[in-house]
Chain A
Amino acid sequence: GEDVEQSLFLSVREGDSSVINCTYTDSSSTYLYWYKQEPGAGLQLLTYIFSNMDMKQDQRLTVLLNKKDKHLSLRIADTQTGDSAIYFCAESRLNSGYSTLTFGKGTMLLVSP
């Protein structure tokens, strides 16, 4: 299919690790992104990974990429209540010679105290 797919909902306890998964479709995608959306706000770029990398770590965030399976994950260590938000993965796709981002429908992360 043409969709970027994510699970819709994840609930964790404060202090636990969260893992949000995503499968994408375009094997030629060169960059994959994770965005965060808090209520009433736009999307905030969290991190991105180049397709020739397997892993990228940025403070509490770890991105893992399995290019063979077209699977991307975002791990948040020591999850805090402030991490509660919707998380979108996105892949870059070529459209008429230009790269555009195609987003998944988002995973709502709920962190309970």
Chain B
Amino acid sequence: KAGVTQTPRYLIKTRGQQVTLSCSPISGHRSVSWYQQTPGQGLQFLFEYFSETQRNKGNFPGRFSGRQFSNSRSEMNVSTLELGDSALYLCASSRAPGQDGEKLFFGSGTQLSVL
């Protein structure tokens, strides 16, 4: 069974640009969550999608958005990039949204560098 797949693996952008990251969950998993990982702030929850609907959202500005498709694949978009958006963006999938004890399975992440 293939794991969570994130593309691209690395991205370099400049300030003001926008970027789209992609995540394919494990087959049969219908919930996708996104996290931002930085050395200073650690792992911070961005949002969670299930059945093409955003179920939960972390404390990030509106420049960060996402969506989920009918096949459960998800994309996140960051517009008007800032230097502080440089981070590892991790996607995680699970069978169902936000149930206690639900195990998250992570992809290897997309390393975004904003110059």
C-alpha spacing A65/B23, complex, angstroms: 34
Whether B101 pairs with A40 at a CB distance below 8 angstroms is no
Whether B108 pairs with A103 at a CB distance below 8 angstroms is no
Q: How many B residues have CB within 8 A of the partner chain?
A: 26
Q: How many A residues have CB within 8 A of the partner chain?
A: 25
Which of B42, B101, B104 meets A30, CB within 8 Å? B101
Contacts of A101 in B (CB 8 A): 45, 104
B76 within 8 A of A: no
Contacts of A44 in B (CB 8 A): 106
C-alpha spacing A88/B43, complex, angstroms: 9
Whether A42 pairs with B103 at a CB distance below 8 angstroms is no
Residues on B close to A: CB < 8 A?
4, 6, 33, 35, 42-43, 45, 48, 55-56, 58, 90, 92, 97-109
